[in-house]
Chains A and B, each alone.
Chain A
């Protein structure tokens, strides 16, 4: 079975601070990895995804994530956050051979203060 852990449940940053949100997954085989963002009152939006190739993946709005296979991690980063990045961030995994469902982490609520 596949599972995802997000260790930071609430993060508060000042504008221009750097961001790193942790994500670890558990699955015995090859995985596809995703980060989704949910702005207040809105739907889940795909930030970025990793399937194969370069483990450093760049997404929308200046976000990037690095897949480290040896650590089963897929941490999300942004060098300089903005107030508009206030949202909830979800890491998700789809294990190849595990059907086509996504397994989500519990989410990290990010608040960026001016």
Chain B
């Protein structure tokens, strides 16, 4: 079964540093998403991406965050200057059509900001 692959599985970074979380969506999927889950809290939507642009973003997704699909296969989430409160599990997801039909999620990247 096709998978969404995320790397790294765990990243530790110092506060103020930039991090890039990487995702390889399923190859024929067109819609891409990032979600995050702070420990003990609910999974929260960050951003959706389609046709090389952001289609929707939450209020969490401020100017410190950016996404891009640099080479047609990878889908990256960049946090420019990490804060302690950015520590969370970040999930990438993709879908063939608009997400109404259910996404395929990656296994997540645990980001720890120290």
Contacts and interface: CB of A to CB of B under 8 A. Distances in A.
A101 B106 contact: no
Interface string A93-114: 0101001111111110000000
Interface residues of A, number: 23
Contacts of B103: 46, 102
Given A32-B100, A94-B100, A103 B45 contact: yes
Interface in A65-114: 90, 92, 94, 96, 99-107
Interface stretch (B11-19, B36-44, B64-72, B78-86): B36-44
Given A100-B98, A101-B33, A101-B99, A44 B91 contact: yes
A94 B48 CA distance: 13
B98 A43 contact: no
A18 interface: no
Contacts of B91: 43-44
Contact of B101 (A43, A49, A104, A106): A49
B55 interface: yes
B27 interface: no
A102 B45 contact: yes
B108 A43 contact: yes
B48 A99 contact: yes
Interface of A: 32, 34, 36, 42-46, 49, 51, 90, 92, 94, 96, 99-107
Given A44-B93, A103-B45, 4 more contacts: A32-B101, A43-B105, A92-B43, A99-B56
